Amino acid sequence: MNVERRKFDALIIGAGGGGLRAALQLARADAQVAVVSKVFPTRSHTVAAQGGVNAALANVLPDNWHWHMFDTVKGSDYLGDQDAIEYMCRAAPKAVYELEHAGVPFSRLENGRIYQRAFGGQSQDFGGEQAARTCAAADRTGHAILHTLYQQNIRARTHFFDEYFAIDLIRDREGYVLGALVMSIESGECLLIEAKATLIATGGAGQLFRTCTNALINTGDGIAMAMRAGVPAQDMEFFQFHPTGIAGKGMLITEGARGEGGYLINREGERFMERYAPHARDLASRDVVARAIATEVREGRGCGPEGDHVLLKVDHLGEEVVAKRLPGIRELALTFLHIDPAKEPIPVYPTAHYTMGGIPTNRFGQVVAPVRHGPEEPVPGLYAAGECACVSVHGANRLGGNSLLDIIVFGRAAARHIVGFLQENRYHRPLERESVERALEHRARWDRKGKGEPVAEIRRELRKVMEEHCGVFRDQQVLSEGLDKVKALAERLQEAVISDHSRIFNTARVEAMETENLMDLALATVTSALARTESRGAHSRIDFPERDDENWMKHTLCFADGRLDYKPVRTRPLTVDPFPPKPRVY
């Protein structure tokens, strides 16, 4: 076992908002923290978040956390765990003020308070009038948050391993997680980072789909790593398609554009959302708007020569509002479409956006998994937070602005729990040779030479299959075909190689390992989607159009070998009465 080793109290895999919020908490508690990121930290996907972060501050309209909780439970189509949702909504104002005090330059109201905009699925008074709950820094909120957190971490002396790729977790025979094997992307050298506690914060897996809003790096590595370490992936059938991606390209046009007064029209110029959601219209929940757009196009009311998209109008808002509140959107539309949204409507179509499923955790960020087919228990030394985790606060459908909140609240909560764990576990546990060797073998797979098809081709096909067979609308036949195709691709990947030429910079090696991770997640996603014979939130089965609370108020767990298990939704909040399932109308 000839690998360089480093020891830290805590290892954080991922330097997005979730990882950096946790790192800051730990570094300030005087823990030795290592943060590993495959890209420079401020290039993490959090940087791209546009619209904002939800907290019931009541700066613009009346609000309170309990209304926020109601909206989140309803938005989740009752699949969210209500204890975790209560915790998050109560913690939201504090989490946002902490960001403000750390230096996040939020947009301001005339009176100096934080600006808050309207977003989809938000209401006052348990389903009443539209609320204004989303705190924004123009349409670059994630950028502001990520840069602030990074700077504060530098100040707190967090140790960064930039451009290191985490390959696999190290888990011993007793089930403890003892760190991870990582690789310097520049040199290809492996490094073993030993830690008393490991937090996975590797973000989502939008790269599963051909058209998506996610960065190239969002390949769900952490979820796949956890699966290889014996932890199932939870609720993978729930993948959010954002209603307004730039048509044919996928880049995101924030819901904030509709929050500021923008609306959707079809080829007849009709504001069609009035038919699908008479009350909330363009600000209905994302799954509702995405299905409405897909239906308009399918029924022949799409725009453009191919009739394959609808239009988002913001030009009636005036140059000044567009320049002040939506400058990034204007830039995106100018760059990718040569359209100025202050003058012309933007062609949009649903695009893969957010991974609701992920690594099962409790509200303390501890990863929980069934032990030997028995009830679930925390995996000692392993935590997860952010988009890779499934707490589950988003259930079957996430509300806009709740993800930046999720990463901040649960990044912090996980770190606080780790501080306690470190007090009880003062020493590093001895490392077993075989658990490290398993990880080394995993990496060595891509050293093999010979002829075989290129990995990049398989990745391209995988993303196409997922888009065609596991998109906005699904049914038994389309999903079964999809599963067969993914399995065939998985077999081809076993034989694939990376060329000597691309080996030089290790990027091909990274791409190969990412593709393996995507493959595992694709299998879990299609398998879980095929099994769930109901429609709930983002999972719409044409053959089972109704929600079935009697049989399906439960979370899916999919193991690495494709085996499925289920666990009940936690319907009991911490202090208030539960919100029982109701028909979901907007």
CA separation for the pair 103, 150 (Å, rounded): 11
What's the Rg (C-alpha) of the chain?
A: 23
Q: Nearest approach, Cβ of 403 to ligand FAD (angstroms)?
A: 4
Binding flag, residue 19, ligand FAD (CB under 6 A) = yes
Map the footprint of ligand FAD across residues 207-266, applying CB under 6 A. Answer: 213-214, 217-218, 221-222, 252, 254
DSSP state for residue 489 in the 8-state scheme = H
The answer for residues whose C-beta is within 8 angstroms of residue 57's C-beta and 6 or more apart is 63, 93, 96, 113, 114, 116, 133, 135
Distances (CA, A) of 280 to 92, 229, 506: 24, 43, 49
- Per rule CB under 6 A, is residue 120 in the interface with ligand FAD? no
Cβ of 279: how many Cβ atoms within 10 Å? 14
Q: Pick one of 22, 27, 33, 52: the residue that binds ligand FAD (CB under 6 A).
A: 52
For 405, list phi and psi in degrees, rounded to 5. Answer: -65, -45
- Other CB atoms within 10 Å distance of the CB of residue 291: 20
Beta carbon of residue 527, minimum distance to ligand FAD (angstroms, whole number): 23
Distance CA 345, CA 359 (A): 39
CA distance 448 to 427: 38
Work out how close the CB of 547 gets to ligand FAD at its nearest, in angstroms, rounded to a whole number: 25
Instruction: Closer to ligand FAD by CB, 302 or 350: give it.
Output: 350
User: CA-CA distances (angstroms) from residue 151 to 21, 23, 135, 139, 531?
Assistant: 11, 12, 21, 21, 45
| From 286, 325, 443, 509, the catalytic residue | 286
Q: Name the residue nearer to ligand FAD (CB basis): 39 or 208.
A: 39
Q: x/- site string to ligand FAD, residues 339 to 378, per CB under 6 A?
A: ---------------x------------------------
Q: Which of 9, 11, 12, 17 binds ligand FAD (CB under 6 A)?
A: 17
Q: How does DSSP assign 266-332, residue by residue?
A: -TT---THHHH-TTTGGGS-HHHHHHHHHHHHHTT--BTTTT-BEEEE-GGG-HHHHHHH-HHHHHH
Q: Does 130 bind ligand FAD (CB under 6 A)?
A: no
**302-341 footprint of ligand FAD as x/- string (CB under 6 A):** ----------------------------------------
Q: Interacting stretch for ligand FAD, rule CB under 6 A, among 17-25, 70-78, 360-368, 489-497?
A: 17-25
Q: Which is nearer to ligand FAD, 296 or 467 (CB)?
A: 467
- Taking the complex as a whole, the smallest distance from the CB of residue 299 to ligand FAD amounts, in Å, to 29
- Out of 27, 31, 33, 46, point to the residue binding ligand FAD (CB under 6 A): 46
Q: Does 50 bind ligand FAD (CB under 6 A)?
A: yes
Q: What are phi and psi of 517, to 5 degrees?
A: -65, -45
Q: Which residue number, 15 or 178, has a Cβ lying nearer to ligand FAD? A: 15
Q: Tokens representing 561?
A: 């070998």
Nearest distance, CB of residue 252 and ligand FAD, angstroms: 4
The three-state DSSP-derived secondary structure of 370-415 is: ECCCCCEEEEEEEEECCCCEECCCCCCCCCCCHHHHHHHHHHHHHH
Confirm or reject binding of residue 15 to ligand FAD (CB under 6 A).
yes
Assess whether 286 carries a catalytic annotation. yes
Contacts with ligand FAD by CB under 6 A lie at 13-19, 36-39, 41, 44-46, 48-53, 141-142, 165-166, 201-204, 213-214, 217-218, 221-222, 252, 254, 354, 386-388, 400-404, 407
Residues acting as catalytic residues: 286
